[in-house]
Amino acid sequence: MKIGELARRTGVAASAIRFYEAQGLLKGVQRLANGYRDYPPEAATLLSVLSGAQRAGFTLDEIRQLLPQDLRHWQHAELMAALQQKVAEIAALQLRLEQNRQHLQQLITLINARPDDIDCQDNAARVLASMGITNGE
């Protein structure tokens, strides 16, 4: 199938398809006499796997290491380990994001608790001091 048809079937842009091919992730592509690419039927499945893996947070290098030559022959133990590792990375990222959210929320509360008798500059100094940050004076 030509690249336009593959792009329509999968929803993956032709430029992304060419990129995956250039990266060695999309194999079995034939060149016709007119220079057009001819993709095998399994290219659509492979593009779904590639897109899904990237949406799940896998890098191209991680995908390259896990991707079997034939999609029917996955290395179960390696795949499961990689999936579990990615879940752990996501959990750690969620924890860091939650800590960042709480920190920012505390900062907003502290800034909004400005006493009426001080201006913005003095409030900034008050907030920085409460955070243990000095202005260098």
What is the per-residue DSSP string for 81-123? HHHHHHHHHHHHHHHHHHHHHHHHHHHHHHHHT--TTS-HHHH
Whether residue 25 is predicted with pLDDT greater than 80 in this model: the reply is: yes
What's 1-57's CATH class? Answer: mainly alpha
pTM: 0.69
- Element holding 79 (H helix, E strand): helix 76-112
| Annotated domain spans of the chain | 1-57, 75-137
φ/ψ (deg, to 5) at 85 = -65, -40
Distance CA 47, CA 25 (A): 9
Higher pLDDT residue, 133 or 85? 85
> What's the pLDDT band for 87 if we cut at 50, 70, 90?
very high
